Amino acid sequence: MSHNKLTDFPRRLLVAGGLAGTLVLALAGCGGKASTGPTQMVPLTLVAQGVGGTTARYAAPAAAMFMTAIADTDTIPVTFTKALLVVRDVRLVRPEVMDDSTGQTDSLDATDSLDVSDGEDDGGEDHDGNDQGQVRFRGPFVIDLLSGTAARLDTMMVEPGDYKRIQGHLQMLRPHDLDAANFPGLVGSTVWLEGTIDGEGGGPFAFLARIDNEFMIRGGFHVDAETPATAFITFDITKWLQDRHGRFLDPRVAENAHAIKSAIRHSIKVCMDDDHDGRIDDRMHSEDGD
C-alpha cells in the first residue's frame, strides 16, 4: 500500500514515510516510570495537516507604499480547490547536537523563532548529513492540505527526552519518487495550489512552483518515557497568498512568486500536545516565537 494514501497508516517503521508543509507540530505523551535499565524507546507518529479552511479574504494591495490601512470592504475573496505540498524530510533534533554553523551546542529555548533560509539549493540530492542525535522521518511526503483530516505519515521508535528543534526540507517531487506516479502534475514542483479569485478582475488560478529550502522551528519539545507520542505539523493555507502586511499576492502575477514561496515556508507552526488528548493544543511555536 503506497504511503501517499493519506488516510492509510504507513507500514514503515524507523524511517520516514509519507510532511509531505504550515508547519503545527505537537508531541503527545504522559509521564513514565523511572527505570534503571537501558533507555526504553517509545513510538512517535508524525502527523501533518492543513489549517485555515478552504476560503480566505485578503486586503487589496495598497495603491501606494505609504498606505498602511485598507478598509474592511476592500477585500479580495479566494476559494482554494487544491493544495499539495512536498516535504522531503522532517527531523527532531536533540539538545546535544552541535550547531552546524558555530560548532557550539545550542541552548534549549522554547521562545526561539522559526528560521527560514532564503537561499535555494539545487534540490538534486537528499540532505542526509549526520543523523546522530536526531530523529529523521524520510520522505518525500506529498501532503494534501485540503483533505480536512490529519494525515498519518509514519511512526518511528525514538528516545524519550528533550528535543531542541524541528527542521526539514521543502523540495520538488522527482520523477523517481514513490508518489510521482500518483501526482504526475506535481513532478518538478514543490507546491501545487489551485482556486478561484472572486470579484472584479478575478478568475481561476493554478500556482505550481519549485521550493528548495530548509525550514527550522526552534523550541523545547519533550517526549515522555513509556508513552507513545504524536508530532503534528500544520500549514496555514490562508497565509500563502498574503504578504507580511496581510495584502493579497495574486498568484497569476509572476512577480509575486518569490513572496508566495516565502509565505509558504513561513506558514509552518508547532505546538505541544500538553494535555495528551491527541489533538493540537492552543500554545504554538511559529516564526514569531509565540
The edge-to-edge listing of strands for the beta sheet with 151-158 is 151-158, 42-51, 229-236, 268-271, 284-285
The series of mean pLDDT values per 10 residues for the chain, 290 residues long, is 40 36 40 55 90 93 48 80 95 74 36 36 42 84 92 91 90 95 96 95 96 86 86 91 94 96 88 59 48
Look at residue 209 in the predicted model and tell me its pLDDT: 97
User: Does this model's pTM top 0.75?
Assistant: no
Phi, psi of 233 (to 5 degrees): -120, 130
Name the β-bridge partners of 31.
none
What are φ and ψ of residue 251, in 5° steps? -70, -10
Do 85 and 191 meet the contact criterion of CB atoms below 8 Å apart? yes
pLDDT at 63: 52
Q: What is the pLDDT of residue 132?
A: 65
What does the pLDDT read at residue 227?
A: 85
Task: Report the pLDDT value the prediction gives residue 250, as an integer from 0 to 100.
Answer: 96
Looking at residue 273, what is its pLDDT? 59
Distance, CA of 121 to CA of 123 (rounded, Å): 6
Report domain extents, the chain: 42-50+87-187+208-240+266-274
Neighbours of 176 (CB within 10 A): 7
CA 252, CA 14: separation in Å to the nearest integer?
41
Confidence (pLDDT) at 229: 85
**According to the model, what pLDDT value does residue 278 have?**
61
